[in-house]
Amino acid sequence: MESIQSIKQRFEIIGNDVKLNRALEKAIQVAPTDISVLVTGESGVGKEAIPKIIHSLSHRKHAKYIAVNCGAIPEGTIDSELFGHEKGAFTGATQTRSGYFEVADGGTIFLDEVGELPLTTQVRLLRVLENGEFLKVGSSHVQKTNVRIVAATNINMLEAIQKGKFREDLYYRLSTVEIHIPALRERPEDIHLLFRKFASDFGQKYKMPTIRLEDDAVALLQHHRWPGNIRQLRNVAEQISVLEKDRSVSAATLRGYLPDAGNSLPAVVEQQRRSSDFSNEREILYKVLFDMKADLNDLKKLTLELLKHENTEKVQEENRQLIRKIYGEDEDILEEEAVSVLPASGRYTEVAPHKPQPAERPTPAKVGPEDRYHFAEEIEEEETLSLQEKEIELIIKALERNKGKRKAAATELGISERTLYRKIKQYDL
């Protein structure tokens, strides 16, 4: 069995962190077997090195090794890519095609971002793991394959299972052995070693002197959270190697390449925050809807109170306060809602004693006080006469009393002339 140090040299793995060494030790131990392995860790930590180590130390090392990025293959074609298809199985299938599981028979398949697999594909994969059988797309002939599966993911699989995005039985089949790769911020002593390796490589690549970090820059480098992990560190090293003329880099210079310094959080935390924000927004929306329902009930009570009593000024003022509570301080809205529910003058001595038909425009009629109270009782018992019909009726009466003069009619209704004109046009009066 090869040592951890020889594996690091062979696969160019930099670092002496205890968690990293433990991950490599587990990879070396499981390599001679055929059990499935699930590699976990954040994006950019170097998970792709583990399946290469496992394959190279296994008895399958002379067979094929195929790495598949499940997140990069469209959902409509991923079954064809993995399991192959028969000629004519779908539009564009002009010939029979072998999938990765057929091509890699006897070897190893690395399924990167396995958490992105569609549920239908997960069922097919589970069958391969259980008995080594699969069906090509468009075929009824069962085929056998002998492959070892190493999968990797950067998502929380247990959360994905709870949300119904990943099959629980497949998860336990894949994670017979789970190898976790620590994030770069969890191994601060390795950060400078990795940076020096990248700086040396880019210095040779671009034929430039290798850059060197000053002590304060090293401290900044080690305290940064590195949300992009090794991939981000390599990117920063390449930028500095190309752009900086002074090959000695200070903390002030390095900070310019870390715009999110001190403000970066892991992707998992960000996902939890978005989920929490959505839950809070939903609770706020429910509260607003309940408050609106209560306000509308209050408006109905005020309308009935106005119909039954003569004290219209007090009721109208209470109504305006309610409208202002619901809609804010917008003048036009206050005016429109006021005329929709309450008249400025409070004259309810002339109302139609019968319910108008849909195609019939309300016509003013002289009725007595007893009819007015009878009309209020009808509204309370039969909620059939809409506020819109009452609004049309009030506008018509105001125009008739003022001989068609909109300005005077608007003053009587307690709204602006512009609002009255819009209502006339809206109701085709």
The predicted-structure confidence for 85-133, as pLDDT tens digits, reads as follows 999 888 888 899 999 999 999 999 999 999 999 999 999 999 999 999 9
- Is 227 found in the same domain as 329? no
Identify whether residues 370 and 423 lie together within a single domain.
yes
* Mean pLDDT of the chain, nearest integer: 81
Triad 392, 395, 399: Cα angle to 5° = 140
Which positions ≥6 away from 369 have C-beta within 8 Å? 349
**What is the domain range of residue 240?**
189-255
Task: For CA atoms 102, 104, 106, 110, give the dihedral sign.
Answer: negative
Which range is least confidently modeled, 11-15, 61-65, 95-99, 327-331? 327-331
Tokens standing for residue 109: 């398949």
Asked whether residue 326 is assigned to any structural domain, the reply reads yes
Residue 194 pLDDT greater than 60, yes or no = yes
Q: Are 176 and 36 in contact (CB under 8 A)?
A: yes
pLDDT score recorded for residue 322: 63
d(CA 139, CA 53): 35
* CATH number, domain containing residue 115: 3.40.50.300
Q: Output the pTM of the full model.
A: 0.61
295 and 246 share one domain: no
Which two three-digit tokens encode residue 166?
């990943």
The set of residues, in sequence order, having a beta carbon less than 8 Å from that of 61 and lying 6+ positions away, is 55
pLDDT higher than threshold 90 for residue 279: no
Would the CA dihedral through 31, 37, 43, 48 be positive or negative? positive
When pLDDT is cut at 50, 70 and 90, the band that residue 339 belongs to is very low
Domain boundary among 153, 182, 211: 182
- The number of domains in the chain is 3
CB count within 10 Å of CB 212 equals 13
Based on the fold, state whether residues 143 and 99 are members of the same structural domain: yes
In a domain, 260, yes or no: no
Q: Among 8-22, 68-82, 180-194, 401-415, which is the least confidently predicted range?
A: 401-415
> 144-159: per-residue pLDDT in tens?
999 999 999 999 999 9
Contact status, residue 335 vs residue 416, Cβ threshold 8 Å: yes
The two structure tokens encoding residue 191:
């950060």
Q: Are residues 384 and 246 in the same domain?
A: no
412-418 long-range contacts, Cβ below 8 Å, gap at least 24? 412/344, 412/345, 413/339, 413/343, 413/344, 414/335, 414/338, 414/339, 414/343, 414/344, 414/345, 415/335, 415/336, 415/338, 415/339, 415/344, 416/331, 416/332, 416/335, 418/332
For 201-248, the pLDDT digits (tens) are 999 999 999 999 999 999 999 999 999 999 999 999 999 999 999 999
In a domain, 271, yes or no: no
